[in-house]
Structure 1
Amino acid sequence: MRNDPASTATAVLTRVGGPANVTSVTHCMTRLRLTLADPAAVDEEALRALPGVLGVVADGDSRQIVLGPGVVEAVTAAVAQQVGEQGASRGAAVARQAGEQAASRGARLKEDLRRRNSTPFKTALRRIANVFVPLIPALIGCGILAGLGGLFVNAGWLPALTPALSAVASAFMALIAVFVGHNTAKEFGGTPVLGGAVAAVVVYPGVAKVTAFGAHLAPGQGGVLGALAAAFLATRVEKWCRGRVPGALDVLLTPTLTVLVPGLVTLYGLMYAAGAVATAIGTAANWLLATTGAVAGLVLGGLFLPLVMLGLHQALIPLHATLIDQQGYTVLLPLLAMAGAGQVGAALAVYVRLRHDLSLRTTIRSALPAGLLGVGEPLIYGVSLPLGRPFVTACAGGAAGGAFVGFFAMLGDKVGATAIGPSGWALFPLLAGNRSPALTAAIYAGGLLTGYLTGFLATYLAFRPAPAPAPAT
């Protein structure tokens, strides 16, 4: 599949109802994300059986197809090209075919799918994730540059270059509210640039002259949460205006009101409220780790793999972004990253146990490098989840690693990450904390080793594969 993304794209599109059934094509680090006009037209079993497809997550009217890092980018590009080229010419015929298939399966099936996969909670999480997932590459790149800049400052290297490196690394985070506003408006059906314009109010230096609730506002107050709320309000105002403003005045009044009304509400309400929520998140995270760090780490590390399996882990990005904005790093990500360590340990145990299963051992060998770098889906969908019990023991390994890191947080040694996205070994360049870089890295490494070892031992002891068949005589 790596060598022929076009054929993989064709096979995927055939099994999701054809190009005309696809309304949007995106991807994250490991998953091809397709939004579908008719989810009932998907042949789930055939899609999961495709070579190279590691798993499929059904989420309302979308399908997340796990392909793995490196592969997903090429396949996504091929899918987008085929949807664009074939969708126009075949759209009407395929749409009719999809409609006939849906009718034959019955409205009850569609309603059942919608009820199970489009709950308000899951839909809200998915839409929030859609706002922040496109920002991950910039968060990773700027986070790594920030880490390098800190290393150069501490070591006294390249003093003439470090201010420039700091500016390049910090500029995106200083304006992240604008990008959040742009993506929020796009996701909720508004004009993206108007969402960005309203969200820009949050970071504009001039807000320091505005008094709200008896105090001057601070630029950036409310952070990404304020930007998210401001842009969402802007989309509601814009939609209201579109249906009521006369056509001749729409081009003038609608943008003006869309910026003015939410802008004033942001200044005199949302920034203050979002700032209070953001402060509460930071205070709660610090309190949680300082008082119940080991327990908190155990719970977070143990439950993260199921969130990844369901595709809900991206909804935590606003919390990470808020902590990074407040404290310079998120203390939650290193705890959650321990889930990947448990997964690696479990996969190694399966590899040892299944000496005669050459196919599965090949899958493990190919997926382990990604697993060590924190990309867990290939091991989840290719190894532990199909086998059942190793998935549970992998969660146990993640819980043990999280408890290890959380225990040191109780002692006052915080381990955080300056960016969102990488985990496993890939998180080392992004580590930060309130102690020396060496101690922070040592604690994180200790958590990884604990997760590897616990995941391996728990799986090795609990997993009893069927005996190999006796050779024919």
Structure 2
Amino acid sequence: MTASPQTIAHQVLAHLGGAGNVASVENCITRLRLPVADQDLVDTAGLKAVDGVLGVVEDQTMQVILGPGLVDEVADAIERTLASGADSAPATHASGTDSAPATGASGADAAGTGGADTADRLQQRGADMKAAQKQRNRTPVKAFLRRVANIFLPLIPALIACGIIAGFNGLLTNLVQNGTWTWAAGLTPILTAIASGFMSLIAVFVGMNAAKEFGGTPIIGGAVAAIIPFAGVADVTIFGTELAPGQGGVIGALLAAVLAAYVERWARTWAPRSLSMLIVPTFTVLVVGVLTLFPLMTVAGWIAEGIGVLANQLLQVGGGIAGFVLAGLFLPLVMFGLHQALIPIHATLIEQAGFTVLLPILAMAGGGQVGAAVAVFLKVKDASMRRTIKSALPAGVLGVGEPLIYGVTLPLGRPFITACVGGAFGGAFIGVFNQLGTTVGSTAIGPSGWALFPLTTGNEGIGAAVAIYGFGLLVAYVAGFLATYFFGFSKQALAELNDPHTDAAIADSQQGAAQ
């Protein structure tokens, strides 16, 4: 049985160097995001070994993967601890000392470097790969992309909720229109209002989060972003061109709020302290408000329109080839941190069409990963590796792929490539249907795997979209399994993995862990 949320929260804080080392806590659907002051105090191996933790992504903002539901309860417990000022003692395995790699399956420490089993040391190899990748990810571009992701991630729960309600309302509307459930005719307008209210004001929430992320006042960022959906902008004419409410969407809101943060910070440098409360917000909203009306809304409108046209044309023309490439490259994009650039693109497509056609295709990468893990389970007889796969596989099926990536396929090497191949075939399957005129999309950002089913929709209705997405997952599972089972291991590598007395396959990573 998984430990209680309070126990997990206490242990997570302890392995992060204590509550005093954690600045704040935020969470999305599956993971905690905890900025830490001193990275050297973090005990990553101990953090992975906490009961209930499915995976850890190392960065200045540590990401702890717990899965749906549990993550909310643990986040609440951590927030209460941080608010109370109570501290959690740092983990006994302090940074700078050697610690045994976590099993990931049972949460027990390995018996020692010489006695650690194959799965433990492969997981250590995965941890070493992540650490090396983290160093490569510390570039200005990737840091900016992480900040953009931080703007949109807090919005995901509302996007999911409204997306599911919108999907159910669409199904209900069809039943009303064909005469099956005429009694529900009065219910659909209610559900429409509930599902659409958030989306009509999403620019405001993006503006508030963007201002906060870039050092401004959230409410001022929301104030300038609120100009974009305001119906009265239809009365504004710029050089003979009329603006339209919502023009530029979340892209415009993002640009306006970031500009507002910089203008606000500049205004505070020269405004008299006694009058700053009046001068700074007024000056910021007035100046950035004018710039939002022109040129930001116009330019952002061009960008948003270009994103929509490019995404649709890519799949309508490229079809299976485009789907193959997009899904096949998604796991490497995640490794390099470049997938964060897709978040505002997804949000723009959802704002324009009600769904993003890219997410179901990219979700096939997780399907290939699941198929590859099943093949590894059958090919590798090591008991601890099989336990690791069994513990991580349910999360992978639901769309949480990090435990399988960093605990199984990536350390093994070739199975990571065959997992990408499996995802590519699933993406090609969905891409072909897009080319034939049946689009498959997601009404929200975030979930993949089976968790995406309630959010799936398309131009031919929910039924067709769900069926195509489901068959696409099946293709990805089968292709990932077959590619890994037949091509995922050399004979020598497989013999070494299945020989409990042979350490050659993992000697390098073991030596690195011992040092």
How far is 1:116 from its partner?
4.1
For 2:247 and 2:205, how far apart are their aligned partners in 1? 16
Counterpart code for 1:400: F
Which shows bigger deviation, 458-467 or 175-184? Answer: 458-467
Counterpart Cα distance in 2 of 1:332 and 1:235: 31
Partner of 2:512: none
Is 1:279 equivalent to 2:305 in the alignment?
yes
SS of 2:58's partner is strand
User: Which has the higher mean CA deviation after the structures are superposed, 388-397 or 375-384?
Assistant: 375-384
1:234 and 1:469 map into 2 onto residues whose CA distance is 61
Return the alpha-carbon distance in structure 2 between the equivalents of residues 163 and 12 of structure 1: 44
More moved, 14-23 vs 172-181: 14-23
Worse-matched range after superposition: 272-281 or 432-441: 432-441
Given the alignment of the two structures, is residue 124 of structure 1 paired with residue 155 of structure 2, yes or no? no
Which residue of structure 2 lines up, in the alignment, with residue 451 of structure 1?
476
Task: Tell me the residue number matched to 1:76.
Answer: 75
3-state SS in 2 of match to 1:220: coil
Q: Aligned partners of 1:256, 1:268: CA distance in 2, in Å?
A: 18
Shift of 1:123: 0.8
* Separation in 1, partners of 2:253, 2:213: 14
**In structure 2, how many angstroms separate the alpha carbons of the residues matched to 1:398 and 1:463?**
15
Match of 1:104 in 2: none
Residue 106 of structure 1 corresponds to: none
- The 5-angstrom pairing of residues 59-138 of structure 1 reads 59=59, 61-86=60-85, 116-138=136-158
1:69 match: secondary structure? coil
What residue in structure 2 maps to residue 162 of structure 1?
A: 188
Which stretch of the first structure deviates more once superposed, 331-340 or 434-443? 434-443
* Residue of structure 2 equivalent to 1:381: 406
Say if 2:46 is the partner of 1:20: no
Tell me if the contact between 1:54 and 1:382 (Cα under 8 Å) persists in the aligned partners.
no
Say if 1:443 and 1:169 are closer, same or farther in 2 by CA, change over 3 A.
same
Q: Is the 8 A contact 1:22 1:36 kept in 2?
A: yes
| CA spacing shift, 1:48–1:86, aligned 2, 3 Å | same
Is the Cα–Cα contact under 8 Å of residues 17 and 42 in structure 2 kept in the other structure? yes
Identify, as 1 or 2, the structure richer in helix.
Answer: 1
Cα distance in 2 between the residues matched to 1:282 and 1:131: 21
What is the alpha-carbon distance in structure 2 between the residues aligned to residue 237 and residue 469 of structure 1?
63
TM-score (norm 2): 0.81
For 2:363, what is the secondary structure of its paired residue?
helix
State the one-letter code of the partner of 1:75. Answer: V
User: What residue number does 1:246 align with?
Assistant: 272
Q: Aligned residue for 2:203?
A: 177
Question: Are the equivalent residues in 2 in contact too, given 1:57–1:311 (CA < 8 A)?
Answer: no
Is 2:387 the counterpart of 1:362? yes
Deviates most, 169-178 or 416-425 = 416-425
Identity across matched positions, percent:
59
Matches within 5 A, 1:186-225: 186-225=212-251
- Spell out, residue by residue over 1:244-283, the C-alpha distance to the aligned partner (whole angstroms, 9 max, x if none): 1001111111111121111110001100000000001011
Q: Supply the distance in 2 between the matched residues of 1:213 and 1:16 (Cα, whole angstroms).
A: 55
Shift of 1:183: 0.7
Shift of 1:351: 2.3
SS at match of 2:270: coil
1:414 is the counterpart of 2:439: yes
| Residues 95-149 of structure 1: per-residue CA shift (max 9 Å, x gap) | xxx9x98xxxxxxxxxx99974431111111100100000001000101111111
What is the 5 A alignment of 1:305-324? 305-309=331-335, 312-324=338-350
TM-score after normalising by structure 1: 0.88
Unaligned 5+ runs, structure 1:
102-111
Aligned residues: 452
Cα deviation digits, residues 309-351 of structure 1 (max 9, x gap): 4555344221011111112221101110111111111122122
Deviation at 1:176, TM superposition (A): 0.3
Correspondent of 2:160 among 132, 140, 160 = 140
CA distance in 2, matches of 1:35, 1:220: 34
Amino acid in the other structure paired with 2:63: Q
Aligned partners of 2:136 and 2:428: how far apart in 1? Answer: 34
- Contact preservation (8 Å) 1:343, 1:397: yes
CA distance in 2, matches of 1:456, 1:215: 56
